Amino acid sequence: MSRLQIFLESMDENEILKNGARDCAPLRYWGKGAVTLLGDSAHPCRPNLGQGGCMALEDAVILAKCLGSGLPIEAALPRHESLRFHRTKHIQQHSLVMGYTGQWQAPLSLTVAT
């Protein structure tokens, strides 16, 4: 039995969170007033590129800068959104394409794609 199997066997079935991973079209608005989203809640995507955690960290850094800029919160949050939207949208869309092409199985398609 592998170490992974031993680890999985040792877990309580009821303690295992089973969530599906889904892509989502880029959201044009992440919040309103003094409330905003960041990370996966703002721009979820399946881990085809392994960028979700990176984007969440980038969001946090930019959000902190916006909140520390002296702008009122109702202006700082949209500023954060506008600074982050295009990059996260691009990665979401790229991830969607990678997920799609990653499912290709026909040899000719794979040759063309690679």
Ligand X SMILES: Cc1cc2nc3c(=O)[nH]c(=O)nc-3n(C[C@H](O)[C@H](O)[C@H](O)COP(=O)(O)OP(=O)(O)OC[C@H]3O[C@@H](n4cnc5c(N)ncnc54)[C@H](O)[C@@H]3O)c2cc1C
Q: What is the nearest approach in angstroms of ligand X to the Cβ of residue 100?
A: 18
Cα separation, 86 vs 90, in Å, equals 6
Cα separation, 96 vs 103, in Å, equals 11
- Which residue lies nearer to ligand X by CB, 63 or 66? 63
- Which residue lies nearer to ligand X by CB, 21 or 75? 21
Token pair recorded at residue 93: 């869309």
Of 33, 57, 62, 51, nearest to 92 by C-alpha is 51
* Residue 102 binding ligand X, by CB under 6 A: no
Q: What is the nearest approach in angstroms of ligand X to the Cβ of residue 101?
A: 18
Q: What is the nearest approach in angstroms of ligand X to the Cβ of residue 112?
A: 27
- Which residue lies nearer to ligand X by CB, 65 or 112? 65
- Find the distance separating the first CA and the last CA of the chain, reported in whole Å: 36
What part of residues 22-81 is at the interface with ligand X (CB under 6 A)?
Answer: 39-41, 47, 50-54, 56
